[in-house]
Structure 1
Amino acid sequence: MAVEERTTLHGRAVEQAALDALLEAAAAGRSGVLVVRGEPGIGKTALLEYARDRARGTHGTAVVTTTGIETEAEIPFASLHLLLHPVLDRVDSLPAPQAAALRAAFGTGPGSSDDQLMVGLAVLSLLSELAADAPLLCLVDDAHWLDHASARALLFAARRLQAEGIALVLGARTGFDPSGLPELRLTGLDPDSSARLLADRSPRLGPPLRRRIMEESAGNPLALLELARTDGDAHGPEPLALPHRIQQAYGARIAELSAGARTALLVAAAEDDGDLDAILRAAARLGAGPGALGEAERAGLVRVDAGRVRFVHPLMRGAVFRADSYEARPAAHRALADVLREQPDRRAWHLAAAATGPDEEVAAALERAADRALARHGHAGTAAALERSAALTGDPALRARRLAAAAQAAADAGLTPRAKSLAEAAGRDTADPRTRARLQALRARTAFADGDPGTAHDLLLGAADTMAGTAGESPGEARVAAGMMLVDAARNAWQLGDTARLRAAADRLATLRPRPEDGLGPAVAAVTGAAVFLEAGPALALPALRTLVADGRRNRSGAPALRVNAAFVAGLVGDFDAGREISAAVAADCRARGDLGWLPLAHLTLAASELYLGRFRDAEATAVEGLRAAADTGQPHRAGYLQGMLAWILAVRGDQAGSAELAARCHDHFDATGIANSLAWAEWALALADLGQGRFAEALDRLDAAQAGPVRRQIQSVYFAPDRVEAAARLARPADEPLAAFTEWADASGLAWADAVLHRCRALVEPDWATAHALFSRAVRRHAESGRPWEAARTRLLFGERLRRERHKTEARLQLAAALDTFERLGAVPWADRARAELRAAGATAPLPDRATDTLARLSPQELQIVRLAATGMTNREIAAQLFLSPKTVSYHLYRAFPKLNVSSRAQLAGLGLTD
């Protein structure tokens, strides 16, 4: 659209105000994101251009832009390269892993990371660098046509924008997934605004035609303008769908051009990068003269600027294709392929577009393009290239191999429906058992992603059987592949709490008879131990599982999957120090290597260990970061688990509303998937909230019901057994079953903290005061040996309550005061209030809490993480790389945290005891 046509925006005052606010915030150093969404022609591009003009004219803001291109949507990082191309000279200023990831993405360096989301962090850092001297406006038009890799990286960066002074605006059609980012949905103009727009742009329209255009356009600005350009006689009695009607109007304008101009337009529509030189050379091969493109520009159909050709609207591209004959399109693509011999990927796609049947030469070129895309971690582009390659492949076996590889790449890109359809197509073309086994495992992966872990488990068992049956050739490879399938099947069974399925996986693993060189030993031990745990109880299972944890603690360089598995098993045996150590090491390694895909699971096991150790603030910060990583990597099942833990922490703090909201999400997740681990946390959290408020009957009923359902197969049921004992004792109800369950586990664990809690449970149900006193005293001593302040404080509270009732007020005050001090430090408000009330009843002065003096409690989870890393001497850039933030955001949070901690410099942080 010409410049003079966008000087005035009619009927968009609200939308303009939203963009103004975004720009003003950026000028003040605050970042923001806005997704402008609507149908074609509704005015998205006009609003983005308004933001660009306002930024340059009013705020002195730098501007970078990119546009998604439909024919470029399968080339990984193509749109991102267009956005960052003007500033790639700054890549060397990024941290080395990020710079390497960005170079790999753009094909200028070797691959450096197994996870393309490291590119997203590089984008965040680079944009932050650009905003160092002045605010930055980043505009992304036609975001629905961004290639998958670019979109993922940009959305990753968008979710982390905080204090960089960056305004990011994305224009997209309805159907684009904004991933929870703020949206501005555009609708048609109101009648008055439509009338003003027509009066401004087409003042000579007669009233009847003006009314007809307003009625048929439904307030769509592009429809208003384009329909006003056509002859009134062209408006028949039947209304047409708007996009088709607009394209029809464009078609009429195209038909007025010379043959040469139409040819140049067709080549421009076929060219995926708007490359002016390539378009002119290809058009010349087809007979278009040097002035042909200029004619199209003068007609207002394209804009030529800085060596690029852009259509005035995406619908114009489609109109150009429809205006010419079918035979002309392959010719345009072949001409472009001829002039793009130095760009093999783009040339391969043009040759594919020109192909009309199987062509192995073109199919092989596309497969090579797929290999290059995979080297840049462009999984979506890899899948697209292989899928098109398969379509051009005549040999069924080769076609099946390419389809299977495309399905795998689509699954790696998170494109679950596409992966499923590609796997099914490959399965129809192959008889090779190993290929069929891998396709079945892939279908299991998509079933799990769809929320059906039961089906995923069953598919994996079948795939493992098929793979194991191919052991005649490369038996070690087949054995390892089958073993990993069975480990995944066992993990699904555990999450479901399905003992029979878990046993089936364990039995098949035993039948495989893996050898030491296979590296499956730890995984087999974990699966077998978990099956024994559910079937025969902890006495038989825990010894072998403890050995696995010890091995995981020693192995600091193993695969993340096996090390996280050891951390999870540490939770089964109650060795939370080992679980924390292993998980923290895995998380640090993942950050260093950019393996973001493993971070949610590492944070999950780390947060659980911190929670059980009574490190509630650490657990919250870890879980919040894990949730962010789960959103970035598309792992809703991990997110459900983390939300359950956060619900538990909020219940301890007395935030019943927040806890209930998160617990409700966990219930929804269970209803959709049947995965019981997040449900276990949710039920425990709700019961804990009841227990903290003295609602013992509600707490007991909830925990008993949980124990009778799928939660009984989760480890949380062991750990909330003492809560069931406490609630039952308060109500003078029998507690034999939960006491027996915890006794069995505690005796098998041999852990001091478990022994302490067990003695507390026995004391609660012991009617004889002398015996109860001895049991409580033993519990307090054992707690002193084992840490776990939360459990120790609860023991002291219950001991103090019993002492007061037995009229030993002096001794009661000692226990209650110690409990109160710990509860206050932990932020366990309901339990602190209980301890305070008991202290008063025991005759002690118990002043109201001054919780404002708890400096750490004033920090947000992110501030806590940042100040702890700063206290170790890390720079802002190092902290930013560690937490996947920008250095400016780190600086902002430190600026906010210093007054809360009563410090004025980083050097003072070291003396606050923030690290351990």
Structure 2
Amino acid sequence: MKPTVRPATGAQQFEARHQNEAVDCQVGGDAAPSYCEALSHSSRTVLYGRDVELDTIQALLDGARLGHGGAWVVRGEPGIGKSAVVDAVIPRAEGFTVLRTLGVEAEHTWSYAGLQMLLHPLLDRIGNLPAAQAEALRTALGMGDGTGRPQRLQVGLAVLNLLVDASAQRPVYVVIDDAHWLDRDSTDALLFAARRLTTESIGMVLVVRDGFAPEFPAPGIPELTLGPLDIEASQAILDTRSDAVPYTSRDWILRLAEGNPLALLELPAADHEDPLRTIDSSNSRYSTTSRIRQAFTERIIALPEATRTLLLVAAAEETGETAVIAEAAEKLGANLSDLEPAEIDDLARYHLGRIEFVHPLIRSAAYHSATRARRIDAHRALSEAFGNGDIRHARHLAAATTGLDEKAAAALESIASYEAERGGCVAEMVALERAASFTPEAEERARRLVEASQTAYAAGLVEKALELAEKAERLTENHVLLARTALIRATVLSWAGDAGAFEVWMESAEHYAVNGHENTGYPLLRGVWNAWETGDFGKVEYANELATRFGGSNNTWAKRLARAAAGLNRRPWVTAGEAVDALRSLYDYYQPLHDDFRRFDQVLASRWRLLAGDVPAAHTAASEKVRDCREAGATSPLIQALLVQAQTQLHYGRYADAQAAATSAIELAAETNDRRALMQGRV
């Protein structure tokens, strides 16, 4: 499904009127930044008192020039000067290719939306990547044929190598503004690359807002937090607004601004008789950010109604696309010419073909100052402007829906399918979960929650996978759906080393068995293995008895594994030779319940080879699985394959190789918070 936008009445004339307003801010390279703008006078003033921060970013670029790159996360509250500090270094980045993008709240759940904007200038270099990485990146960016799903690790490698390829000609400076609004898949890929820049000619800065924004954990990357300015710098900024600040108001503004540069610039513009004046500046619950936003809200409320409507529509459709905003605004009685009062008041502007807000808090004020009914009207108008066939139609339709609605639910499920084609597990999960929330019929809601749970597991969000599975279980008595939720819970518990996993494997098998489902064999086999690992052979026998009771060809797998467990643990009714034969008969076992389990199961088979004493076969199988998982970017099974590979290398006396494989497994386990693998790798 390709996003489309129909031209709107008046949009072309509006664009023509503003066509000379674009700013070219390319710095030293043939690839123009994906997002850029000239520094205004007001943004330059926030550099008062920021010498240490400027030196830190400059040192990052100086290191990148010499091939000693790195990354910083720059944090701070809204208006504290984060972007201004990062911007100020750009003119000094002579000889660099500057790549810049920004996270957009409306695209927070769109898979790889951030990467699309950032990497657009480098698309012609994708062919320089290894074939598997090039294919994964093209699919992630919506340029593939839609037949495969890229794994996150593979996309991360592709991003890293694409930046390295670009830096071979000239060093690269990467700036991501509002990184907290990046979609999860773009964030994972960029953080993967950011942690691996120490020997490259690449500097990366991720600008993150604290407060009024999602959290942005970035383990392994140093952080630069901008705090309030001291009184001297604050007074210097206020001096630049001396024409707007009566002498008697200076102390009041200094107290209220609390060292925030944007507050120092904006509060003088507020009416000195408005409610801001009565606020107790010692009340920490009323933050500086809230004061700034209230100042913006007062300015927006003073605008003509048609201008407020246009700003509301632009705030609801954050991509800023002029044509669709114009069409939706016209349905609500506004048009593009109504932007002028907001431009005059320096609240919004038409820039590089888009309607932009001067600051994110202005967007928030424009949206939340409208009534809920008016916001719903705006989303409904936008959904109609996009029309069927555009994924944004479904997003706005959902935002305009206030109750259960199968039409909105089905539209969101279509978004999930679109995201699945691009490999966006997180975006797919979010769309499915939202689709379930709109679904009127309980059984169908449960199905969508199960699909969302499965996708969350594939994305490595195990806690979310468990939460969604449990929600689905409360809605249905369908045994196949309940078997699937139990399967997800058991898988998560097993890889976490939880002793309760066995009972959940059995629960899944029993649900499948109600309808005589052949898939009982898979959870029974996994239950036997779980019991064997924990040394509870009573549970091994119980699973074996269930396999006999349920019958079916697939249940012979569980019986064979139970026989192997008995013989290799000196049970008198099975010899060691019979146990090894039973184990070898399972080498080629494969049950395609879901592709996300397949590689885990094949790694498990390589572990069985090791148990049977077939060290060469185990080494070959594990090494093949390591290559396969690396090519596919399948992180979790790769960790297990590396651990088996390390064990086989120990058998050969290749201690350095074993240590390297185990170290790789530990590093990946730390990045993905795989606690069980961390323990296994250090044993």
Q: TM-score range by the shorter chain?
A: 0.7 to 0.9
User: In the alignment, what sits opposite 2:645?
Assistant: 606
Is 1:362 the counterpart of 2:408 in the alignment? yes
In the other structure, the counterpart of 2:17 is: none
The verdict on how the C-alpha distance between 1:227 and 1:417 changes in structure 2, with shifts beyond 3 A counting, is farther
Q: Which residue of 1 aligns with 2:258?
A: 218
| Aligned partner of residue 443 in structure 1, secondary structure | helix
Q: 1:312-341 deviations in whole A, cap 9, x for unaligned?
A: 332222211121122221222222222323
Query: Which is higher, the Rg of structure 1 or of structure 2?
Result: 1
Pairing 1:187-226 to 2, within 5 Å after superposition: 187-202=227-242, 204-206=244-246, 209-226=249-266
Tell me the amino acid that sits aligned with residue 626 of structure 1: A
The verdict on how the C-alpha distance between 1:232 and 1:610 changes in structure 2, with shifts beyond 3 A counting, is same
Equivalent residues in 2 for 1:468-547, closer than 5 Å: 468-471=513-516, 475-476=517-518, 480=519, 482-515=520-553, 518=554, 525-526=560-561, 528-530=563-565, 532-534=567-569, 536=571, 540-541=575-576, 543-545=578-580
Q: State the 1:509 CA deviation.
A: 4.1
User: Aligned in 2, Cα 1:43/1:510: closer, same or farther, shift over 3 Å?
Assistant: farther
CA distance in 1, matches of 2:103, 2:547: 48
The C-alpha deviation readout for 1:384-424, integer Å capped at 9, x for no partner, is 11222222221222122112212222232233343333223
- Provide the residue aligned with 2:11 in structure 1: none
1:636 aligns with 2:636: no
Tell me how far 1:618 sits from its aligned partner. 0.7
Match of 2:506 in 1: 461
Identity within the alignment, % = 38
Structure 1 residues 535, 509: CA separation in 2 closer, same or farther (over 3 Å shift)?
farther
Tell me whether 1:283 sits opposite 2:322 in the alignment.
no
The alpha-carbon distance between structure 1 residues 187 and 416, as it changes in their structure 2 partners (threshold 3 A), is farther
Q: Aligned equivalents of 2:499 and 2:68: distance in 1?
A: 46
TM-aligned CA deviation for residue 549 of structure 1: 4.9
Q: CA deviation at 1:124?
A: 1.6
Aligned length: 629
Aligned to 2:392: 346
CA distance in 2, matches of 1:551, 1:499: 19
Which of the numbers 304, 307, 318 marks the counterpart of 1:258?
304
Does residue 441 of structure 1 match 2:487?
yes
Q: Superposition pairs for residues 683-832 of structure 1, below 5 Å?
A: none
> Is the counterpart of residue 579 in structure 1 residue 615 in structure 2?
no
Secondary structure at the counterpart of residue 319 of structure 2? coil
Q: Which amino acid is 1:579 matched to?
A: A
CA distance in 1, matches of 2:74, 2:302: 34
- Pick from 648, 665, 680 the counterpart of residue 626 of structure 1: 665
Contact in 2 for aligned 1:35/1:171 (Cα 8 Å): yes
Distance 1:65 1:524 in 2: 58
Q: Per-residue deviation at 1:81?
A: 1.1
Once structures 1 and 2 are overlaid, which stretch shifts more, 363-372 or 352-361? 352-361
| C-alpha contact (below 8 Å) 1:34/1:182 kept by paired residues | yes
The alpha carbon displacement at 1:270 in A equals: 0.7
Following the alignment from structure 2 to structure 1, what is the Cα–Cα distance between the partners of residues 174 and 389? Answer: 28
Out of 278, 300, 325, the residue aligned to residue 371 of structure 2 is 325
Q: Distance in 2 between the 1:343 and 1:187 partners? A: 46
With over 3 angstroms needed to count, the CA separation of the structure-2 counterparts of 1:76 and 1:209, relative to structure 1, is same
Q: Are 1:246 and 2:287 matched, yes or no?
A: no
Q: Does 1:44 align with 2:82?
A: yes
Does structure 1 residue 90 correspond to structure 2 residue 135?
A: no
Q: 1:31 aligns with which of 58, 61, 69?
A: 69
Q: Distance in 1 between matches of 2:65 and 2:382?
A: 44
1:406 aligned to which of 440, 446, 452: 452
Q: Verify: 1:111 aligned to 2:111, yes or no.
A: no
- The question of whether the paired residues in 2 share the 8 Å contact of 1:114 and 1:595 is answered with no
2:203 to 164, 167, 182: 167
Distance in 1 of aligned mates of 2:349 and 2:159: 28
Which deviations, in whole Å up to 9, do the C-alpha atoms of 1:190-249 show, x marking residues without a partner?
333333332334565356533333333333333333333223333214342333222211
- Distance in 2 (CA, whole Å) between partners of 1:504 and 1:94 is 51
Q: Which residues of structure 1 form unaligned runs of 5+?
A: 645-680, 682-916
Contact 1:631 1:639 in 2 (8 A): yes
What secondary structure sits across from 1:179 in the alignment?
coil
Are the equivalent residues in 2 in contact too, given 1:529–1:542 (CA < 8 A)? no
Structure 2 partner of 1:381:
427
Number of the residue aligned with 1:236: 278
Contact preservation (8 Å) 2:529, 2:561? no
Distance 1:565 1:415, change over 3 A: closer
Q: Distance in 2 between matches of 1:440 and 1:88?
A: 43
* CA-CA distance at 1:111 after TM superposition: 3.5
**CA gap 1:45/1:531 in 2 versus in 1, 3 angstroms:** farther
RMSD over aligned Cα, in angstroms? Answer: 3.0
Q: Do 2:521 and 2:557's aligned partners in 1 also have CA atoms closer than 8 Å?
A: no
CA distance in 2, matches of 1:215, 1:535: 78
Structure 1 segment 541-556 matched on structure 2, within 5 A? 541=576, 543-545=578-580, 548-549=583-584, 552=587
Q: C-alpha distance in 2, partners of 1:220/1:534?
A: 68
Pairwise CA distance, 1:470: 2.3
Residue 560 of structure 2 aligns with an amino acid whose one-letter code is: A
Corresponding residue SS for 1:171: strand
Looking at both structures, which has the greater relative contact order when contacts are Cα pairs under 8 Å and sequence separation is at least 6?
2
How many angstroms apart in 2 are the aligned matches of 1:413 and 1:251?
A: 39
**Tell me, what secondary structure is at the counterpart of 2:278?**
coil
Partners of 2:392 and 2:104 in 1: CA distance: 13
1:363–1:167 CA distance, 2 compared to 1 (3 A):
same
What amino acid does structure 1 have at the position aligned with 2:506? L
Query: Whose helix proportion is higher, 1 or 2?
Result: 1
Give, in whole Å, the separation in 2 of the partners of 1:554 and 1:326. Answer: 56
Cα distance in 1 for partners of 2:141, 2:415 equals 14
2:605 equivalent in structure 1: 566
C-alpha contact 2:419 2:427 (8 A) present in aligned 1:
yes
C-alpha contact 1:264 1:293 (8 A) present in aligned 2? yes
Q: Is the 8 A contact 1:42 1:220 kept in 2?
A: yes
Cα displacement string for residues 654-676 of structure 1 (whole angstroms, at most 9, x for unaligned residues)? xxxxxxxxxxxxxxxxxxxxxxx
Deviation digits for residues 272-308 of structure 1, max 9, x if unmatched?
3222332233223322233222432332223433223
Query: Is the contact between residue 607 and residue 618 of structure 2 (CA under 8 Å) also seen in structure 1?
Result: yes
Whole-angstrom CA distance in 2 between matches of 1:41 and 1:466: 55
Q: What displacement does 1:448 show?
A: 5.5
1:287, 1:142 → 2: CA distance? 32
CA contact (8 A) 1:499 1:534 kept: no
Aligned to 1:677: none
Letter in 2 for 1:34: W
Unaligned runs of 5+ in 2: 1-37
Equivalence map 1:10-29=2 (5 Å): 10-29=48-67
Q: Please tell me whether the aligned partners of residues 547 and 556 of structure 2 are also in contact (alpha carbons under 8 angstroms).
A: no
Match of 1:178 in 2: 218
The question of whether the paired residues in 2 share the 8 Å contact of 1:553 and 1:578 is answered with no
Amino acid at match of 1:170: L
Q: Comparing 37-46 with 138-147, which one deviates more in the overlay?
A: 37-46
Q: Secondary structure at the match of 1:536?
A: coil
Residue-by-residue CA offset, 1:437-463 (whole Å, 9 max, x unaligned): 2123333345557x5612333222222
Counterpart amino acid of residue 26 in structure 1: A
8 Å Cα contact 2:490-2:504 kept in structure 1: yes
CA distance in structure 2 between the aligned counterparts of 1:138 and 1:537, rounded to whole angstroms: 66
